Amino acid sequence: MLKKLFHIFNLFLILLYLYPGSIFGYFLYKDLTRQPQLTPDYFSLSSNHFYIFLILSILGILTFKNVKKLGIYLILISIFLELFHLLIPNRSFQFSDLFGNLIGVIIPLTLVMTYNLWRKK
């Protein structure tokens, strides 16, 4: 069940990222250019991007045993999806979004790998 949920969430995330505009902005504000903000951004990273990749990372960790392969996949997809914003109309590449993506992946993976190392001792 978790594997299906991970794949559905992953596909949904890719669709949201590649859509030329904000789907949530359209439903909430009737404006494709307006992005809803869950919480204020932290320093120089996007909180929305942090949360979405944190959820995806946690789902992946609960689903797959090979954390290293999962980490490589999540880091690559977080980079490539943000880079695609350079090509998609009504979207823009922002380093704060990229940092939010990466931190949302790195924190849970680091915690799990640290726990696994500690448990082996």
How confident is the model at residue 25, as a pLDDT? 64
Confidence of residue 89 (pLDDT cuts 50, 70, 90): confident
Task: Give 34-53 pLDDT, tens digit per residue.
Answer: 676 677 777 778 888 999 99
Cα(74)–Cα(72) distance, rounded to whole angstroms? Answer: 6
**Number of domains into which the chain is organized:** 1
How confident is the model at residue 43, as a pLDDT? 78
Poorest-confidence range of 6-15, 18-27, 40-49, 70-79? 18-27
Question: DSSP letters along 59-105, please?
Answer: HHHHH-S-HHHHHHHHHHHHHHHHHHTTTSTT----HHHHHHHHHHH
Q: Kindly give the interhelix angle for 2-18 and 67-84, rounded to the nearest 10 degrees.
A: 20
Residue 42, helix vs strand vs coil: strand
Q: Is the pLDDT of residue 84 over 80?
A: yes
Cα(116)–Cα(14) distance, rounded to whole angstroms? Answer: 30
106: containing domain: 2-120
Confidence of residue 101 (pLDDT cuts 50, 70, 90): very high
How confident is the model at residue 118, as a pLDDT? 87
> Of the segments 18-27, 41-50, 92-101, which one has the largest average pLDDT value?
92-101
End-to-end CA distance of the chain: 32
